[in-house]
Structure formats: C-alpha cells, structure tokens
Amino acid sequence: MNKVLTPVGEVFTRLLGPSAEVSITAYDGSRSGPEDAPVAIEVRSPLALTYLMSSPGDLGLARAYVAGALEVKGDLYTALHALAAQVDQLTTADRVWLLRKLGSTHLRRVAPPAEELPSRLRRTVQGLRHSKARDSSAIANHYDVSNRFYELVLGPSMAYTCAVFPKAEASLEEAQANKFDLVCRKLGLKPGMRLLDVGCGWGGMAEHAAEHYGVTVLGVTLSREQASWAQKDIVAKGLADRAEVRHSDYRDVTETGFDAISSIGLTEHIGARNLGSYFGFLAKRLKPGGRLLNHCITNPDTSVAHHSRGFIDRYVFPDGELEAVGEIVTAMHDSGLEVRHSENLREHYASTLAGWCANLDEHWDEAVAEAGAGRSRVWALYMAACRLAFERREIELHQVLGVKVEPGGEAHLPLRPDWGV
C-alpha cells in the first residue's frame, strides 16, 4: 500500500509554528501561514524539498532559492528575518518528523545549481588554500562577474566594503565617501605622502586619497576586471599622475617606504594562518612612523570557526576566513605594528547591505540580463542574509589602526584621536 504523504503546507505549519509571519504556497496546492503575511514563499517543485532535506543548513535553502525551485514574493530580508528564529530552533526530532511526512525520496542526490563551486576539498586541484594560484581563482570567481553588474548593485561609488554613515539618514554614496575620508584621516594623510592600498577593488580609496589628500597611491587587486575598470576611471578623472591600480597579488609588491597602507576588505581572503606573514609583509613596506589601517569583517569571538562554510563558501567567498578582532590585533602587534585604535562598525555594515539590496532590487531585470538569474539570486540571498547576520551580531566589522614606531619609540600620533567621527 502506498503511503499517503502530508501536504507540504501542513508540514511548514508544524515546522514554523502558527505565529510565523510568512505565507507559504506549495506545488501540491496546499498552503500555510496567514494570507495577509508581509512575505509569501512559493515552494514551486519537489526539488525545493529535496535540496532542503538532502543538504542541511543554509546550503539546502540556498540551492532551492538559486535554482528557482523556491521563490520569495516580497522583501527577501524580511523573509529571512521572519524565518530566522524558527529555523535556528529546528531539532533532530523535527528533521526526522519531516522525513517521515514527506518521504525518503527527497533524500536522493541531485545536482546543485550551476553557480555552485566544488567543495573545499575538491578545490585543491587549484592549489593549496591561499596559494597565489588558488587565491587568484577565488577572487576571479567572485569579483570578475561583471563590472556592469557591480555598478548596478554598488552604485556610483563602486565601493564594495562597509560604509560609515555620518547620520542615519545619509545616503549610501555619502556614507561610502565618508568611509574613505575616515580612513584617510586615521592614516594622517598629507600632500606628498605615498599610500599603498592593498585589495583596492575598483579604486575608490585610491581616487579619494589622491584627489582630496594630494597623496601618491598604488592600489593592487587580484581581480583583472577591477583593475581594468579602476585604471580607466582614474584616467577619466585626471588622477593618473597620482594614482595607479595594478592587477597584482599584494605579495608581489616590491616597493617600500610607504607613509601609509590601507587594507579595506582584504583580510577576509588571507587566511588565519597567514595573518602573521600578511601584516609582517605590510609592515616591511612602511617607513618608520607609517600607519596601517586594517578594515575587515570579524567573528564576534574566538570560539567561532575561521573557515566559511555552506552557502558562503560554495557560492560567495570560496576559501574565505574570518578572525575575531583580538586575533587581528595580536597578529598586527606580533608583526611589529603598535595598535593604537580599534572601532566596531557592525551596524554600519547592516545599513550598507540594506543599500546594496535596494539597488539590486531596483535594477533586478538589468542585473539578470547582465549576470543571469542564478547569479543575481546568489547576490540577493547573500546580501540579505549578511545584513541579518550583522544585526544579530553573528559577525562584526572592525577598523584597526596600527603604527610602525620609530626605533626610539616615537609613534608620531596625537595624544588623542584627531580624525573625528
């Protein structure tokens, strides 16, 4: 006798509870949740359930969404916010019950969406983790999607790192300009100085420092697409005599004697084991009295694993690693840099991501035409999920300022910070 399976909508009612502010409709005609819920989820095919049951955690949900087997009607962030508490509370007993109600056929292996990268183990064909070859491949996978796609998501600033909002109602562009200016002030930049900007992206920091502070800047990025876009923009803005963006691994920079170094959003790609050599390398490029500003996403404490997993590792930042701010500070100190200031900008990154999500939503059709539906869904999901993670303090964002003191101990810093907000 064939087993009569439970309607999909009823299953979700049991899992999410009657108070969930999400409406769910399924391919079998069943539904769950209040009809007037602010967000509606469509389970479009059995493939969605197969992904969810065969891949526990966020990877299964991501596969279902990226493949289009699960659709969200309404704001994706609102949906994740509404579901976060319920999903976090799922127990082994819940999963066993789910299997009984929906059937074991959903445990079969199915191919993941085309946008998914191989597992960390299978990526060893590209070299050891954080070797130059493998880092180059990882960066190209994420950043060489399409410059036009990033223009649509990031806006005119082309800044792909946490902005600093001078006030809550500031625009994303104002906040990104304020971030670059804050970094320049913390570094104490003055006309005639030399700045090295590692992991420079599309050149926003290099251009701001050259234009507004009169410094000479060398920016380096592993993304060929970023370097090409940035160098053209530098020429177009008449800054080619003061700024250069080079397609290069930071480890291949031979110049020394810089007055300052900015590292904005690069440490996440370095690897915890390499922090010492990373800061040691940069310290050797500074002249005595020079400052280094490290700006990166961090773990909330040292108990959290360094390696990214699941959705983020397979779809967004392959081989990405995060450390707690204490580990960053220790590595900087051990490399000979004296840490003089640290600032947590966690809430600012949540607001930054909200701006990027709004940009992608506004330009959705053009983004899909440029990068494909699957890739656009990856970015929409990861940015909404990261916004929620920053709000819930699952991750943080720290700026840490260090100085390479003179042999006699002089740091050439004011007695109190003079860079303002």
| Catalytic residue numbers, as ranges | 386
Helices (H), 4-91: 8-16, 46-54, 58-66, 76-88
Identity at 326, one-letter amino acid code: G
Which tokens hold the place of 243?
Answer: 């700024």
Identity at 177, one-letter amino acid code: A
Give the C-alpha separation, 313 to 117, whole Å.
8
Helix (H/G/I), strand (E/B), else coil: 259:
strand
Helix (H/G/I), strand (E/B), else coil: 340:
strand
Listed in sequence order, the residues at least 6 apart from 12 whose beta carbon sits closer than 8 Å to its beta carbon are 24, 26, 32, 33, 43
DSSP state of 274: G
- Which residue, among 394, 372, 383, 385, has the nearest Cα to 113 in the 3D structure? 372
Residue labelled with tokens 């990861």: 382
Q: Are 90 and 15 in contact (CB under 8 A)?
A: yes
Helix (H/G/I), strand (E/B), else coil: 26:
strand
Strand partners, 71: 42
Neighbouring C-alpha atoms within 13 Å toward the C-beta of 233 = 22
> How many residues appear in the chain?
421
Q: Would you tell me how many other CB atoms lie within 10 Å of the CB of residue 327?
A: 16
Q: Alpha-carbon Rg of the chain, whole angstroms?
A: 23
Give the C-alpha separation, 196 to 180, whole Å.
14
Strand partners, 344: 398
Longest pairwise C-alpha distance within the chain = 86
221: exposed, middle or buried (C-beta count within 10 Å: 0-12, 13-18, 19+)? buried
Helices (H), strands (E): how many in the chain?
A: 16, 12
Q: Are 301 and 344 in contact (CB under 8 A)?
A: no
b/e per residue 80-101 (b: at least 16 CB within 10 A): bbbbeebeeeeeeeeeeebeeb
